[in-house]
Amino acid sequence: MQPVQKTPYSSRNAPAKETVCWLFCNVIDNFGDIGVAWRLACELRRRLGWQVHLWLDDLSALRTIAPDAPAALPAPYRHIVLHTWQAGQDAGLSGVPVPDAVIETFACALPENVRRVIRTHRPLWLNWEYLSAEDWAVRTHAMPSLQADGSRKYFWQMGFSPESGGLLREADYQTRMAAFRQPEKAAGLDIFAFGYAGAVWARWCAALSAQPLPIRLHAAGMPLQQSLCAAPPVAGSLNILPCAFVPQAAFDERLWAADLLIVRGEDSFVRAQFSGRPFLWHIYPQEQDAHAVKLEAFWQTYRRVAPMDETLWRAHQALSAELNALAVLTDAERRAHWRTLLDGFAEWRECAHAWQRYLLAQSDAVSRLAEFCGRAA
């Protein structure tokens, strides 16, 4: 790559210049990582007007949530330039302008040739971290980490409080949600489920089929659908409806059309919260149940903002633990906990609305990033 004249990523004393951002994504959780990275790339372009170059190691994951993305890279797509890259290899930088900002999503290891560019040109360097409600994440947000070569890397900790790095949300989100028209549907409950594979789904279907009201389970994603196909047939009040994958741009409408959400990963998890629907989180499982601490931190934060009746809360937490392989309930316990949640659905829904209001009253992550860039200039 030929060196070019570098100007600061933001300067009040220099002529305006299009900020160049290099963004890197390792796809680990299929759609959570690329979902966040792609949403971030789009918002940096749309909201801040940055010139964004996104390097990713799994184009098929992006094409699942953005089906019209190009099949061969590098290529421009929706005003963002996409590049292919594999961990442990140099990134293709030919013809790419020198960055004003470099963002590594979820602590992916940057290629050595990118590290050389950082050492030479000193762009703003961010590690866009996994979402967490844990205290340490809030404390370390925007803290610099001095590297051995003198470079500074800042940790961007997405989170749920005004002191954190915030959540990714489009400027027109509330307008689109207000304009959404709920489709007509039959009596009963519509559950949208997008989760990881596991035996829990067969057990939950049996418990849901024993409930007194009609329930329609809209099952999204092959892991969940395959788990249900392997389960014994269910009768009773439950109707299982396979749900085709939709582009990320249409995902919110799927959530708005449902009454109750069961979601996985990070991007879907955040969108469920913005929707104001009651939800359960199928967190990405980690070895030695390390995900349990992260799960507990979130629900305790949620409960402080949206207090729930103790009986309802115990039922919610029991089912959350089983969903995330932290407990196994008896058939009777499972049916009883679901009955408690469904009997108290109006209160559960109001708690979800209270949490939604709390989040939507805050600024979003990209707005906070713009403020941070202004301070750091």
The residues carrying an active-site annotation are 33, 266
Q: Positive or negative CA dihedral for 142, 44, 173, 194?
A: negative
β-pair partners for 337: none
Q: Is 71 helix (H, G, I), strand (E, B) or coil?
A: coil
Burial of residue 152 (CB within 10 Å: 0-12, 13-18, 19+) is middle
β pairing state of 20-25 and 101-105: parallel
Give the number of other Cβ atoms within 10 Å of residue 18's Cβ.
Answer: 11
* CA-atom Rg of the chain in angstroms: 22
β pairing state of 260-264 and 51-56: unpaired
Place of tokens 């418990």: 207
Place of tokens 């892991």: 223
Put residue 298 in one of left, alpha, beta given phi > 0 → left and psi -120 to 50 → alpha.
alpha
Query: Residues with Cβ < 8 Å from 65, sequence gap 6 or more?
Result: 31, 34, 35, 38, 245, 247, 248, 251
CA angle 374, 362, 248 (to 5 degrees): 90
Structure tokens at 15: 């002529």
How far is residue 314's CA from residue 316's CA, in Å, rounded to a whole number?
Answer: 5
Place of tokens 């009997």: 343
Q: Is 299 helix (H, G, I), strand (E, B) or coil?
A: helix
Contact (Cβ atoms closer than 8 angstroms) between residue 312 and residue 320: no
